[in-house]
């Protein structure tokens, strides 16, 4: 991430606070994950699960956090890994690029649980709350895990599955081939089996700690479909996940670990937002507009920005929304977002055809005012970082048709005024016009990293069929050119 700051509120974790740390202080990767989830959570004490591919030879760690301490309760060691399981089956379905696992979550609801016997043979629960892979289906333990770049520059992971999976299922799907019912059913079975084992680990963690609140970290915990079910499938009542739950959050976790554990300093205030990237002034934005030669740009007052933007969205236009500091982590959360009307049946196809060019089975996400979540979804625990998928209430589905997935769920972002006042006000103004306290929110990009600078935002806006762009108080609309 470019230009990440370190401020976390009125308290901060600064380089100066670490100046006296011994060189030998080196928390493991999985401890850094755990620290990144617990210390900014706001919970005085909580159960912690760090679930990853592998790192420092541990793929899963459960712990108890209280005050400034972390107590490790247990670990699952390499080669046994839920991350390896998920990635290996994703590869078999033809999704071998780094990060493709999220696509399989989107594909899964289109299938049936036809391969549960196979998946239950691939990974087994243990009575002690752990799990083991059946290594006959895998080669990572014998041949290693290799990364490379494909012909389009995307990072890819070398195959992790063995010939045994091919013998059981037939040839693996190749990238670009038609997705068959077998692929959909295998995706559904993978997600269902992952949830069984994940909840097995979490129930054991609850039994060991007796705590009501849960903090999670590690790339596997980006599985928002599973996270959204934990309130029904486990006894936990509270939930926190760091917005950068994967390797990008380990630097944050290391700083927290040293600050809180090694130095014993006061825990910083709870982290409720992920806005730590670069920000740009209206003058810097104006200079970028001039460099791009974009025509028809107007500088508006705050009132005009929200009124005009909400009106355009209500009329069915697609708007680039570039405001304040960029998000940290994998999700666009209302500062580098493309926003649209969630209640238009054609909007999903419009976005894919004109800008995003994504697989049609992948859903778009809703951003909802946190104080109105109960109007649209079956659970009410906040989801500021899009880490939870909730069932959509039947009475809300028509108004959320563009963000309601085929299984009547949505991966939502809840928005608080104190965390992102401009985005909150935009949604609020849209709600005043439509009665819908939700915007469709997708990342501001077109098959590239999310835009960071005004120049990048303008380039994406100008080459795609986006209708309008709002950067700070600058407003551009192609219909006005």
pLDDT of residue 13: 52
Higher per-residue confidence, 25 vs 247 = 247
CB contact at 8 A, 9 and 271: yes
List the beta strands (DSSP E) in 387-472: 388-391, 409-415, 438-443, 468-471
- The Cα–Cα gap between 296 and 277 comes to 28
pLDDT band per the 50, 70, 90 thresholds, residue 4: very low
pLDDT of residue 99: 87
Rounded-to-5 percentages of helix, strand, coil across the chain: 40, 20, 40
Degrees to nearest 5, angle at CA 129 with 123 and 133: 20
Can you give the residue ranges of every domain in the chain?
A: 1-271, 282-480
CB contact at 8 A, 88 and 137: yes
Average of pLDDT values for 387-391?
97
Provide the percentage of residues in the chain whose pLDDT is more than 90.
82
pLDDT of residue 10: 38
CB contact at 8 A, 34 and 65: yes
Average of pLDDT values for 40-68?
93
Residue 408: pLDDT above 80? yes
Length of the chain (residues): 481
Residue 37: pLDDT above 90? yes
CA distances from 411 to 216, 250, 352, 369, 387 (A): 17, 24, 18, 14, 7
Higher per-residue confidence, 98 vs 371 = 371
Higher per-residue confidence, 264 vs 27 = 264
Its CATH architecture, for the domain 1-271, is 2-Layer Sandwich (3.30)
> Of 26-35, 110-119, 204-213, 350-359, which range is least confident?
26-35
CB contact at 8 A, 131 and 76: yes
pLDDT of residue 3: 40
- The Cα–Cα gap between 472 and 285 comes to 8
Average of pLDDT values for 351-374?
95
Selection from 429, 48, 77, 43 nearest residue 271 by Cα: 43
Residue 346: pLDDT above 70? yes
CB contact at 8 A, 451 and 284: no
Average of pLDDT values for 37-57?
92
- The Cα–Cα gap between 30 and 250 comes to 8
pLDDT of residue 29: 75
Residue 28: pLDDT above 80? no
- The Cα–Cα gap between 407 and 238 comes to 25
pLDDT of residue 386: 96
**How confident is the prediction for the chain on average, in pLDDT?**
92
The phi-psi region of residue 3 (left if phi > 0; otherwise alpha if psi is between -120 and 50; otherwise beta) is left
Count of alpha carbons within 13 angstroms of residue 308, beta-carbon side: 19
Task: Enumerate the β-bridge partners of residue 138.
Answer: 161
Q: What is the per-residue pLDDT across 150-209, written as a single tens digit (0 to 9) for each?
A: 888 888 989 999 999 999 999 999 999 999 999 999 999 999 999 999 999 999 999 999
DSSP 323-364: -SSPB-SSS--SSEEEEE-TT-TTHHHHHIIIII---TTPPP
Its CATH architecture, for the domain 282-480, is Alpha-Beta Complex (3.90)
- The Cα–Cα gap between 302 and 316 comes to 22
Provide the percentage of residues in the chain whose pLDDT is more than 70.
94
Cβ partners under 8 Å of residue 353, min gap 6: none
Q: What is the per-residue pLDDT across 296-338, written as a single tens digit (0 to 9) for each?
A: 999 999 999 999 999 999 999 999 999 999 998 889 999 999 9
CB atoms within 10 A of CB 428: 17
Residue 396: pLDDT above 70? yes
Backbone angles phi, psi at 46, to 5 degrees: -160, 155
DSSP 147-178: EEE-TTS-EEE---B-HHHHHHH-SPPPTTSP
Selection from 275, 272, 323 nearest residue 43 by Cα: 272
Q: What is the per-residue pLDDT across 259-306, written as a single tens digit (0 to 9) for each?
A: 999 999 999 999 999 999 999 999 999 999 999 999 999 999 999 999
Can you read off the two tokens belonging to residue 408?
């009547």
């Amino acid at each position: 991430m470019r230009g990440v700051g370190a401020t976390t509120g009125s308290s901060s974790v600064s380089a100066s606070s670490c100046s006296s740390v011994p060189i030998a202080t080196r928390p493991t990767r999985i401890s850094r994950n755990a620290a990144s989830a617990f210390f900014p959570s706001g919970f005085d004490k909580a159960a912690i699960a760090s679930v990853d591919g592998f790192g420092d030879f541990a793929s899963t760690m459960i712990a108890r956090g209280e005050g400034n301490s972390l107590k490790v309760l247990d670990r699952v060691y390499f080669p046994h890994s839920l991350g390896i399981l998920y990635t290996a089956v994703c590869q078999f379905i033809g999704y071998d690029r780094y990060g493709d696992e999220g696509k399989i979550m989107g594909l899964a609801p289109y299938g049936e649980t036809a391969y549960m016997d196979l998946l239950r043979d691939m990974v087994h629960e243990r009575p002690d709350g752990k799990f083991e892979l059946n290594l006959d289906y895998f080669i990572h333990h014998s041949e290693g895990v290799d990364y490379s770049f494909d012909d389009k520059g995307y990072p890819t992971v070398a195959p992790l599955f063995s010939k045994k999976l091919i013998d059981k299922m037939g040839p693996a799907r190749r990238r670009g081939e038609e997705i068959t019912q077998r692929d959909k059913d295998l995706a559904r079975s993978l997600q269902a089996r992952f949830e069984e084992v994940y909840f097995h680990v979490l129930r054991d963690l609850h039994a060991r700690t007796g705590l009501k609140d849960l903090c999670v970290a590690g790339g596997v915990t980006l599985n928002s479909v599973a996270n959204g079910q934990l309130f029904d499938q486990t006894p936990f009542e509270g939930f926190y996940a760091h917005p950068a739950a994967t390797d990008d959050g380990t630097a944050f976790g290391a700083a927290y670990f040293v600050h809180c554990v090694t130095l014993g300093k006061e825990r910083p205030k709870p982290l409720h937002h992920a806005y730590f990237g670069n920000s740009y002034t209206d003058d810097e934005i104006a200079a970028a507009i001039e460099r791009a030669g974009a025509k028809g740009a107007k500088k508006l007052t705050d009132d005009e920005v929200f009124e005009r933007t909400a009106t355009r969205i209500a009329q069915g236009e697609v708007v680039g929304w570039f405001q304040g500091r960029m998000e940290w982590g994998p999700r666009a959360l209302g500062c580098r977002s493309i926003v649209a009307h969630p209640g238009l049946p054609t909007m999903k196809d419009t976005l894919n055809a004109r800008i995003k060019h994504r697989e049609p089975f992948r859903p778009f996400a809703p951003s909802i005012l946190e104080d109105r979540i109960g109007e649209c979804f079956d659970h009410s625990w906040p989801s500021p970082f899009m880490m939870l998928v909730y069932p959509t209430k039947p009475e809300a589905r028509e108004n959320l048709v563009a963000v309601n997935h085929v299984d009547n769920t949505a991966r939502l972002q809840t928005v608080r005024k104190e965390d992102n006042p401009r985005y909150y006000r935009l949604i609020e103004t849209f709600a005043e016009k439509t009665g819908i306290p939700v915007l469709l929110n997708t990342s501001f990009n077109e098959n590239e990293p999310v835009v960071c600078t005004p120049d990048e935002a303008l380039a994406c806006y100008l080459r795609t069929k986006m209708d309008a762009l709002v950067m700070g108080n600058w407003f551009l609309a192609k219909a006005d050119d």
